[in-house]
Amino acid sequence: MYIETEQQLREIYGFPKEKAVQKQIGALEKHSINFIKHAPFLVIATYDEREAMDCSPRGGEPGFVQVVDDNTLLIPDAAGNKRLDSLGNILKTGNIGCIFMIPGINETLRINGKARISVADDRLERFPEVDGPGYPAKACIEITVKEVFLHCSRAFLKSKLWDSESQVDRALFPSMLEMINDQLAERAEVSS
């Protein structure tokens, strides 16, 4: 049996407390701005017109995402792997979701809005060394903020993500290149 209606979901989960609904606000304020200024990491989620989704991690020094005003954020973009999954989705639908994380802080900040890709000089000059000296941002994602809310610590507490004693030994995994090569080899075997 599968859940097919919101009513069925509510029968199982009930309804949120009033504060859980009210915590969603429509603009940045002092606490969300402070969170963004201290966050060295976020994940952005986008989708295209066929609803094919993408989640992409972004990182930098704390404050690498810049607050222009209480409704506008700038995320610098570097050359990366040149797949352009997220940027392509932004061109197609403009919808974006972000979750900001700060090491050692179990709460997260979630932001949803509309995005566009800017190469305007006044935007790019804010990010002269996104990939190190001499490597400025190629473009930046400009987000018009529609929804802002803090998310509770439960997932981080349960996962012990920031607990150094819970970290997995890197030796348990081959290098990323080895894993990709194995995946490609397995796919080649299946298709032959």
- Report the distance separating Cα 145 and Cα 57, nearest Å: 19
10-35 pLDDT, tens per residue? 999 999 888 888 889 999 999 999 99
- At residue 133, the pLDDT reads 87
Nearest C-alpha neighbor of 113 from the set 156, 68, 52, 80: 68
* Overall pTM > 0.75: yes
Q: Which residues of 78-105 are buried (b: 16+ CB within 10 A; e: fewer)?
A: eeeeeeebbbebbeeeebbbbbbbbeee
Using a 10 angstrom Cβ sphere, with 0-12 exposed, 13-18 middle and 19 or more buried, the burial of residue 29 is: exposed
Contact assessment for residue 85 and residue 138, using Cβ atoms and an 8 Å cutoff: no
- At residue 83, the pLDDT reads 84
- At residue 147, the pLDDT reads 98
- At residue 187, the pLDDT reads 84
Q: Where are the domains of the chain?
A: 17-161
What is the second-level CATH architecture of the domain 17-161? Roll (2.30)
- Report the distance separating Cα 146 and Cα 113, nearest Å: 5
- At residue 119, the pLDDT reads 96
Q: What is the CA radius of gyration of the chain?
A: 19
- Report the distance separating Cα 130 and Cα 185, nearest Å: 34
Nearest C-alpha neighbor of 152 from the set 53, 16, 6: 16
150: number of CA atoms within 13 Å, CB side? 17
DSSP state for residue 38 in the 8-state scheme: H
- At residue 81, the pLDDT reads 80
* E strands, 22-119, in order: 41-47, 53-59, 66-69, 72-77, 95-101, 108-118
Tracing tokens 């900001």 back to the chain, one arrives at 100
Phi and psi (nearest 5°) for 171? -65, -15
Strands 139-151 and 95-101: unpaired
- What are the tokens at 161? 């993500």
Residue ranges in the chain whose pLDDT is less than 50 = none
Q: Which DSSP helix (H) or strand (E) runs through 88? A: helix 85-92
